[in-house]
Amino acid sequence: MKVLIAASEAVPYAKTGGLADVVGALLKEHRKAGREAYLFLPLYRGIKERFSLEDTGRKVTVPIGGRRISGRIFSHEGVAFFVECDEFFGRSELYGTPEGDYADNSSRFIFFDRAVLEACKALGLRPDVIHCNDWQTGLLPLYLKTIYSSDFFRGTVTLMTVHNLGYQGLFEARDYALTGLPPELFNPEGPEFYGKVNFLKAGLIGAEIITTVSETYAREILTAEFGSGLEGVLMKRASDLHGVLNGIDYEEWDPGRDSLIDSVYSPSDLSGKASCKRALLKECSFSGNDRKAPVMALVGRLSAQKGLDILVEAADDIVSMGAKIIILGRGEEEIHKSVTAAAGRHKGRIFLKVGYDESFAHRIYAGSDMFLMPSIYEPCGLGQLAAMRYGGLPVARRTGGLADTVEEYEPLKGLGTGFLFDDYRAGSLRECVRLAMCAYTDTARWNGLLRRAMEKDFSWGSSARKYYGLYKAALARKRRQL
């Protein structure tokens, strides 16, 4: 079975968030298990600068409205393929800048989706399964059901993974003409969405199988609260919708042999974690006599989804309880401002770094005691998985993948791997932090929780097998139909 994973980002090539980690790790796991899997990505400027790629000598041409746009196909180690088109992808960012999205994102990803299919033909690579990820690859399933339903792709099935329903690829109706899809499909049963064109919806309609990244989120998105207007479409497809939990790459995230952290450690010898904390306190210019204070961290996109407004509101109380807060992230301009103001009010108690910094992220996971994830919604979340692996206990809202991966602290039994709250309110977050700080004062108890968190298994093996099972089921169904 040939599996082709199409995505707009993947580690180690390009990353803005968890999508890249998941796509990169899933590809790696499929290959490790001996499955024939390939990756397709846009060739962004950063990839060109950092990797030495082979030119396959194949070229593709895609009509976008009245224009015909060409791109060349490059490859890396025979596994990853890249669509080069500097007009669209030769830029510093993937989707836009803090001021907003690139204005031509619809053309960029119409081009990419069609270019992937054209490249398959040009390379003679006939996929059995195309695994699509998020709105950027949402048109692919519908293309396969319409203009590409020809012989070459007759046996191909698609699986559409929703990593985040908050981003749908919603564009003005006039952009529909650029897709080249049949005009009569632009209706509420098709990719039309309240007068606009919705790329993710195209994927939800066209794909044989739909997945999302946790069981809880798979249930949540069938409701108006979490469905972002697509709950009706998802309800119709409920029997083909599955939750497959994300993992993290255990080779990359391993406190026992991480070269980016101050000292390595393991559940049976935690002394290295104390050194990591000392080093982190120093790096953030927190004074040495703060060693006993719990360090709480947040590493993530600074977007409304991540609950930064209630964190900023609760921050005064949290620091006055004696905790230190470290925030690493970048994202929306408004949120940069409010977080910067909070850090300014509490110099020496809140440390903020606005930016993207992979190696600092590792040092934060290793040196902190708790990990803050007060998300409004969270399809899965990888931050809490990395934190647990490094012995940081999540303080998180009970939603989506956070509910599925954090085992709630039970004060009477001293069990659990983290702390959960329900109401999206600063007061609920504050009380949850208070409970965590109370548990933290009992070192023996805390170390018990921490070891339990470190020993949880969030590696990719079983989830990658689940995807493979879904590919097989979809193919078997398709073959019965042919």
Q: Report the interface residues with ligand ADP, using CB under 6 A.
A: 17-19, 21, 299-301, 328-330, 356-358, 361, 380-383, 386
Residue 299 interacts, among ligand GLC, ligand ADP, none and using kind-specific CB cut-offs from 5 to 8 Å, with ligand ADP
Q: How far is the CB of 335 from ligand GLC (least distance, A)?
A: 15
Q: How far is the CB of 442 from ligand ADP (least distance, A)?
A: 29
Q: How far is the CB of 443 from ligand GLC (least distance, A)?
A: 32
Give 25 or 297: the residue with its C-beta nearer to ligand GLC: 25
Q: How far is the CB of 163 from ligand GLC (least distance, A)?
A: 3
Q: How far is the CB of 117 from ligand ADP (least distance, A)?
A: 27
Give 133 or 179: the residue with its C-beta nearer to ligand GLC: 133
Give 18 or 294: the residue with its C-beta nearer to ligand GLC: 18
Residue 361 interacts, among ligand GLC, ligand ADP, none and using kind-specific CB cut-offs from 5 to 8 Å, with ligand ADP
Give 328 or 372: the residue with its C-beta nearer to ligand ADP: 328
Angle at alpha carbon of residue 331, lines to 43 and 92, rounded to 5°:
30
Residue 328 interacts, among ligand GLC, ligand ADP, none and using kind-specific CB cut-offs from 5 to 8 Å, with ligand ADP
Residue 213 interacts, among ligand ADP, ligand GLC, none and using kind-specific CB cut-offs from 5 to 8 Å, with ligand GLC
CB atoms within 10 A of CB 408: 14
Give 134 or 175: the residue with its C-beta nearer to ligand ADP: 134
Q: How far is the CB of 217 from ligand GLC (least distance, A)?
A: 8
Q: How far is the CB of 337 from ligand ADP (least distance, A)?
A: 17
Residue whose CB is nearest to ligand GLC in the complex, by number: 18
Residue whose CB is nearest to ligand ADP in the complex, by number: 18
Q: How far is the CB of 25 from ligand GLC (least distance, A)?
A: 10
Residue 99, token pair as written in the block: 């001021």
Give 17 or 180: the residue with its C-beta nearer to ligand ADP: 17
Residues of this chain that bind ligand GLC (CB under 6 A): 17-19, 22, 163-164, 213, 246, 378-382, 401
Give 22 or 62: the residue with its C-beta nearer to ligand GLC: 22
Residue 358 interacts, among ligand GLC, ligand ADP, none and using kind-specific CB cut-offs from 5 to 8 Å, with ligand ADP
